[in-house]
Amino acid sequence: MSAQAKPSSTQRLEQALAAIDQAGDEGRRTFTRLYTSDARAAAAAADARSRAGRCFGPMDGRLVSIKDLFDVAGEPTTAGSVILQDAAPATRDATVVRRLRAAGAVIVGKTNMTEFAFSGVGINPHYGTPGNSRDAARIPGGSSSGAGVSVARNFVEIAIGSDTGGSVRIPAALNGIVGFKPTQARVPREGAFPLSYSLDTIGPLCHNVADALAADAMLSGVDLEPGATRSVPGLRLGIPRGLMFTEAQTEVLEAFDRAMALLGGAGARLSDEAMDDLLGEPFRLQEQGTLAAAEAASIHQHLLKEHPEAYDPIVLGRIRHGETIGAARYITMVQARTQLLRHIDARLAGFDALVLPTVPLLAPRIDALSEERAFLRTNGLLLRNPSVFNFFDLPALSLPAPTGTGLPVGLMLVGRRGADRDLLAIGSAIESVLTSANR
């Protein structure tokens, strides 16, 4: 192989498997299952296609991990729990897993996650907690914890996660990578263990927006065709000052301001916007309980009766709270949300995107969250900004903000409903400006 030749899928896979093994306990905490033999066969097949000039597309031969809540035929889907270890094996692959295989992707393994995807912190008392890629003593973010770490530590090139209140974007932000949450209807959820029927989405975590675009095309079943590119000059970016910036650490605000200075200098039209009247509505509407908790209580009703003692106590408490939400209250929330979607669509009509911190915190230490009160406060802050845009069903993209040194900070871009491809094009343009600052 010449010095300039790109390593084959098999070579990259062997390097990844060696890195996972060398990571020891961290590797074992990142993955709940490795598909070593199948991955080697898939990589060899991708290499054979490449030599024959029959590449399936941009995902062919790429190393991918899948979150532990996606069905793989012949094995139980545990969703980060011990309760489902002895569940009946899945009879078929989840839709997104079938699409990965059809695209020629090399599925390296299943990644660890918060039990039943019900936390943005990423701690799992059953399988261990994968440490943050920058400092293993710190949280990885959740619920797609292993997904974020698997990409950030170069165990895989792309991870597929789920996002109900930020579970793709939070680990992306805390580990310094890209995470994309699509409009909900864009990616089918068949074969993914649910947390919330109303809010669940499926999206990729990766190193750059180009990979997010390729993964999104595969996940959504849309052909990856050259689309209209966007450039930063003239972009109309609204900054929703107020609630979304409260309780933010100084390092996060400084990184955000640095990013805005770069974008403004590149010709973006930035404007501070007072939007708390609308962005605060999801919190006011869900003060007595959330949509996610109510729907989780329904999803888990049988498991709660049979095995309540086997749950993570914090997850159990959050699901139990959903049991207190009556039918009338739940229907009121659903109907009010439908009305609010129209209002947010109208408010965003004048912008190409909103831009704000993905989360207001740097990754805290795992041992600082051992008490439930500290855990729940941190969880609430991590979920606050991203969860708003699940509620409004808007596509959202987290990019690494330029920090120079220190722990990662995420910059979140929010687009118009259904304009996922346009948001990714905007993200690509912004990424170019931000990454140039670190060269």
3-state secondary structure of 367: helix
- Tally of helices (H runs) and strands (E runs) in the chain: 16, 11
Residue 181 known to be catalytic: no
Domains of the chain: 9-439 (3.90.1300.10)
Which of these is catalytic: 9, 133, 162, 167? 167
Name, in order, each residue with C-beta under 8 angstroms of 349's C-beta and a sequence gap of 6 or more: 416
pLDDT higher than threshold 70 for residue 4: no
**What pLDDT is attached to residue 227?**
64
Amino acid residing at 405? T
Q: Mean pLDDT over residues 226-237, rounded?
A: 89
Count other Cβ atoms within 10 Å, centred on residue 241.
15
Model confidence pLDDT, tens digit, residues 287-300 = 999 999 999 999 99
pTM of the model as a whole = 0.97
Task: Give residue-wise pLDDT tens across range 324-346.
Answer: 999 999 999 999 999 999 999 99
Mutual orientation of helices 327-348 and 291-299 as an angle, nearest 10°?
Answer: 130
Task: Give how far Cα 165 sits from Cα of 315, 321, 362, Å.
Answer: 15, 17, 18
pLDDT at 52 over 70: yes
In the numeric block, the tokens 């650490």 are attached to 249
pLDDT reported for residue 2: 46
pLDDT digits (tens, 9 = 90+) for 169-222: 999 999 999 999 999 999 999 999 999 999 999 999 999 999 999 999 999 998
Cβ proximity of 400 and 367 under 8 Å: no
Is the separation of the CB atoms in 150 and 30 below 8 Å? yes
CA distance 85 to 37: 22
Own/partner contacts of 341-348, CB < 8 Å, gap of 24 or more, are 341/392, 341/393, 341/417, 343/278, 344/278, 344/392, 344/394, 345/416, 345/417, 347/275, 347/278, 348/238, 348/394, 348/414, 348/416
Which band of pLDDT confidence, cut at 50, 70 and 90, is reported for residue 405?
A: confident
Query: Under a CB-based contact definition with an 8 Å cutoff, are residues 149 and 11 in contact?
Result: no
CA atoms of 81 and 297, how far apart (whole Å) = 16
Taking only the tens place, the pLDDT of each residue in 344-363 is: 999 999 999 999 999 999 99
What mean pLDDT do residues 389-415 have? 95
Active site residue 231: no
Cβ 33 vs Cβ 109: under 8 Å: yes
Task: Tell me, yes or no, if 432 is annotated catalytic.
Answer: no
- Select which of 9, 67, 110, 119 is catalytic: 67
418 contacts 223 by C-beta, under 8 angstroms: no
State the burial class of residue 18 (Cβ atoms within 10 Å of its Cβ: 0-12, 13-18, 19+): exposed
Select which of 9, 81, 133, 143 is catalytic.
143
